[in-house]
């Protein structure tokens, strides 16, 4: 027995030594420089991206990404969703999560990766998403993701902007692109730190481009700042020659890119003969091309509805006009193509136009031809001898006003698709004359300090966009709830609300009528009552700037607000003091307010605020801050009423 003991000891020792050692810690939070942790919700420890262009029709995008989540506000970085489709395959998705000391907590298992289609009532799509969630109940923690996409849609190259959110610091990020020498890379560097340069080599008939970023502190969210796309380092990539499912093109110019899109959709505008005859009858005897276009647009709105189509090449190639005529639905491409066909039957030449749509979307980079668009509209150029203005039509809405683009597609560029190729043109610009809010308010004060108010507000242009949505998409109960939730008043009851479309004019508009009960609005203080007649239009001051301003001043919305308030006094009260007039004139806009005691015993308050659009250097922020502070102070001024001695 004793002879067996050493042998057993060796066996036991061998069994223990055969166990795999725990992985060595990595990505410890303590290894992050303090300058990167300061003010950050998360730190991008590593973002290594490799783009390999295989041919004009295929590219591979490989990503290794490590992010340390420092606060609950950065928790979204703990999960990842990657989309794929018939044209873009997701080769793999792997992940792991580590604790604050860099010890492995969990390796992502295949069963934990959720795979689901992207669908909806208004969507036909082959798009799917694989989703992984490695968020932890406590911060800090670190997630690591690896994935690879193989794309047969070489029209779109990946875009590289590691610092894509405020509050995200970057410790290290690299991008390497390899492409055949016959397919030279087109790229545009944006906001790169001084001294950062592309490293370019040419091994074995290939061209390789490499960029590297390191130690970028988190970017703070600042008032009136440009989009983050204009503030942090980025490299935009685009093809020269490309191919999508056998359709070859070139993105080297707006003309060539537009030519590809035009030819892809050419010949799909034939209408059923009966429909063409119906359109001809609809515009018979109408000489004005604009009026003919209006009748066609009303026909389109009354007989179609929008549905998104994202099926392979269907993301760019439209349904035939005859298919839309038969089904009554289509996506933005199909409805725009259908509208062009209808307009053609009415003798009104028109073109489809690509645009980047969205109220918060920046304009396309006009100096870098590439696919930067997500929507299609229709452009009707001026007719010879007709009105000089170009006409633009949004074809996906049943309620949009004729010729109106609004904040969704206005104030930006679009790519006009013509037989001669693409042409970058401007969509309508909406300024203070178009974006108006005009309000008349009557405020009735009683002797106890309570009040009632009635107001009529006309909003036009971009000022009416939100309210047009309320009018057409919500019922009275939901409308009332929305307005109640957004009135900045201490104590009130909304006793009446109505929204109606404004009479036809140069700009679409919505008229709002409301009535308010205001208990305890201005309680007497001895013989005096202090009251602020500016009930609904106060503009708050901006928060104080913390530290040195980092961003330029970006004023992207122009508007004109005009208010007239009549203050009806209770018996026995008269004005003791009226605020002095205020007038401000700056590069950012103008402001004026004045008070007057009228012969009928009421007090009238008139306010006018015009805000300009402008992109100014960061040094201009101090002046804008002061402008807003003075407006806020003027908006808070009070009328002093005195009770007459009995």
pLDDT at residue 253 is higher than 50: yes
C-alpha angle 441-447-451 in degrees, rounded to nearest 5: 30
Residue with tokens 């308030």: 565
| Confidence label for 354 from pLDDT (cuts 50, 70 and 90) | very high
Q: How far is CA 399 from the centre of its chain?
A: 21
Q: Confirm whether pTM is higher than 0.85.
A: yes
Phi-psi domain of 215 (left: phi exceeds 0; alpha: psi -120 through 50; beta: other): left
- The answer to whether 8 touches 16, Cβ cutoff 8 Å, is no
Q: What is the pLDDT of residue 11?
A: 36
pLDDT at residue 619 is higher than 50: yes
Residue 13 three-state SS:
helix
The CATH number for 436-643, chosen from 2.60.120.1130, 2.60.120.330, 2.30.40.10, 1.10.620.20, is 2.60.120.1130
| Confidence label for 17 from pLDDT (cuts 50, 70 and 90) | very low
- The answer to whether 508 touches 591, Cβ cutoff 8 Å, is no
Residues 6+ apart with CB under 8 A from 474: 482
Tokens of residue 549, six digits:
């301003």
Concatenate the DSSP letters of all residues of 403-441 into one string.
T--HHHH-SSEEEEEETTEEEEEEPPP--TTTSEEEEEE
Phi-psi domain of 311 (left: phi exceeds 0; alpha: psi -120 through 50; beta: other): beta
Q: Report the alpha-carbon distance of residue 435 to residue 612 in Å, rounded.
A: 11
CB atoms within 10 A of CB 547: 8
Q: Report the alpha-carbon distance of residue 325 to residue 279 in Å, rounded.
A: 12
Pairing label, strands 114-117, 128-133: antiparallel
Tokens of residue 195, six digits:
């001294």
CATH architecture under which domain 253-426 falls: Roll (3.10)
* Average pLDDT estimate for 239-260: 96
> What is the domain partition of the chain in residue ranges?
29-236, 253-426, 436-643
* Average pLDDT estimate for 612-632: 96
* Average pLDDT estimate for 187-215: 95
pLDDT at residue 8 is higher than 70: no
Residues 6+ apart with CB under 8 A from 177: 50, 51, 52, 53, 185, 187, 208, 209, 210, 237
Lowest-confidence range among 307-311, 369-373, 495-499, 522-526? 307-311
pLDDT at residue 10 is higher than 60: no
The CATH number for 29-236, chosen from 2.60.40.420, 3.10.310.10, 3.40.30.10, 2.60.40.3140, is 2.60.40.3140
* Average pLDDT estimate for 334-347: 97
pLDDT in tens, 282-303: 999 999 999 999 999 999 999 9
Q: What is the pLDDT of residue 12?
A: 38
Q: What is the pLDDT of residue 310?
A: 65
- The answer to whether 59 touches 166, Cβ cutoff 8 Å, is no
Q: Report the alpha-carbon distance of residue 168 to residue 219 in Å, rounded.
A: 7
C-alpha angle 10-13-15 in degrees, rounded to nearest 5: 110
| Confidence label for 311 from pLDDT (cuts 50, 70 and 90) | low
Tokens of residue 355, six digits:
């645009």
Q: What is the pLDDT of residue 546?
A: 82
Report the share of the chain in percent with pLDDT over 70.
94
Q: What is the pLDDT of residue 13?
A: 40
Q: What is the pLDDT of residue 23?
A: 76
Q: What average pLDDT does the chain have?
A: 92
* Average pLDDT estimate for 580-604: 97
Biggest distance spanned by C-alpha atoms of the chain: 121
- The answer to whether 553 touches 620, Cβ cutoff 8 Å, is yes
User: In 3D, which of 465, 411, 436, 447 has the Cα closest to residue 537?
Assistant: 436
E strand or H helix at 589: strand 589-597
pLDDT at residue 150 is higher than 60: yes
| Confidence label for 484 from pLDDT (cuts 50, 70 and 90) | very high
pLDDT at residue 387 is higher than 60: no
């Amino acid at each position: 027995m004793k002879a067996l003991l050493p042998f057993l000891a060796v066996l036991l020792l061998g069994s223990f030594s055969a166990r795999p050692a725990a992985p060595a810690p990595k990505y410890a939070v303590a290894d992050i420089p303090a300058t990167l942790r300061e003010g950050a919700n998360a730190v991008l420890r590593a973002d290594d991206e490799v783009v390999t262009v295989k041919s004009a029709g295929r590219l591979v995008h490989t990503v290794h990404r490590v992010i340390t989540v420092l606060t609950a506000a950065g928790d979204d970085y703990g999960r990842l969703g990657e989309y794929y489709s018939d044209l873009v395959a997701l080769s793999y998705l792997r992940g792991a999560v580590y604790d604050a000391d860099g010890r492995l907590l969990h390796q992502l298992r295949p069963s934990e990766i959720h795979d689901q289609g992207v669908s909806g009532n208004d969507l036909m799509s082959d798009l799917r998403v694989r989703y992984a969630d490695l968020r932890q109940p406590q911060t800090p923690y670190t997630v690591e993701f690896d994935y690879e996409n193989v794309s047969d849609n070489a029209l779109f190259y990946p875009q590289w902007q590691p610092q894509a959110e405020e509050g995200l610091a970057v410790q290290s990020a690299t991008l390497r692109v390899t492409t055949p020498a016959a397919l030279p890379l087109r790229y545009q560097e944006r906001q790169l730190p001084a001294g950062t340069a592309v490293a370019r080599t040419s091994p074995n008939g290939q061209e390789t481009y490499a960029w590297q970023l390191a130690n970028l502190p988190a970017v703070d969210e600042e008032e009136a700042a440009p989009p983050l796309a204009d503030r942090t380092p980025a490299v935009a990539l685009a093809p020269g020659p490309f191919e999508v499912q056998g359709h070859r093109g070139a993105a080297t110019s707006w003309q060539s890119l537009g030519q590809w899109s035009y030819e892809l959709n050419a010949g799909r505008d034939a209408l059923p003969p009966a429909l063409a005859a119906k359109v001809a009858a609809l515009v018979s005897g109408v000489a004005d091309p604009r009026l003919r276009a209006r009748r066609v647009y009303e026909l389109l709105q009354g007989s179609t509805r929008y549905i998104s189509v994202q099926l392979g090449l269907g993301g760019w190639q439209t349904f035939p006009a005859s298919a839309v005529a038969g089904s009554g639905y289509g996506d933005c491409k199909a409805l725009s193509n259908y509208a062009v066909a209808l307009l053609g039957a009415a003798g009104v030449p028109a073109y489809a136009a690509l645009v980047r749509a969205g109220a918060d979307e920046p304009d396309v980079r006009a100096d870098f031809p590439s696919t930067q668009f997500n929507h299609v509209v229709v452009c009707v150029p001026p007719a010879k001898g007709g009105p000089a203005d170009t006409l633009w039509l949004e074809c996906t809405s049943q309620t949009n006003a004729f010729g109106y683009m609004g904040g969704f597609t206005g104030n930006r560029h679009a790519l006009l698709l013509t037989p001669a190729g693409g042409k970058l043109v401007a969509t309508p610009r909406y300024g203070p004359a178009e974006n108006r809010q005009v309000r008349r308010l009557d405020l009735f004060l009683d002797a106890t300090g309570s009040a009632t108010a009635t107001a009529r507000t006309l909003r036009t242009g971009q000022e009416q966009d939100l309210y047009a949505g309320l009018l057409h998409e919500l019922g009275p109960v939901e409308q009332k709830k929305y307005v109640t939730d957004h009135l900045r008043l201490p104590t009130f009851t909304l006793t009446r609300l109505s929204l109606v479309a404004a009479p036809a004019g140069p700009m679409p508009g919505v008229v709002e009528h409301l009535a308010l009960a205001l208990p305890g609005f201005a309680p007497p203080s001895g013989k005096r009552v202090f009251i602020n007649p500016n009930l609904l239009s106060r503009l708050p001051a901006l928060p104080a700037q913390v530290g040195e301003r980092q961003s330029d001043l970006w004023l992207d919305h122009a508007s004109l607000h005009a208010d007239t308030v009549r203050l009806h006094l209770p018996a026995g009260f008269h004005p003791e003091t009226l605020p002095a007039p205020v007038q401000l004139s700056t590069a950012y806009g103008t402001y004026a307010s004045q008070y007057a005691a009228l012969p009928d015993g009421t007090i009238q308050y008139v306010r006018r605020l015009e805000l300009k659009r402008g992109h100014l250097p960061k040094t201009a922020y101090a002046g804008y801050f002061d402008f807003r502070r003075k407006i806020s102070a003027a908006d808070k001024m009070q009328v002093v009423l005195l009770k007459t001695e009995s």
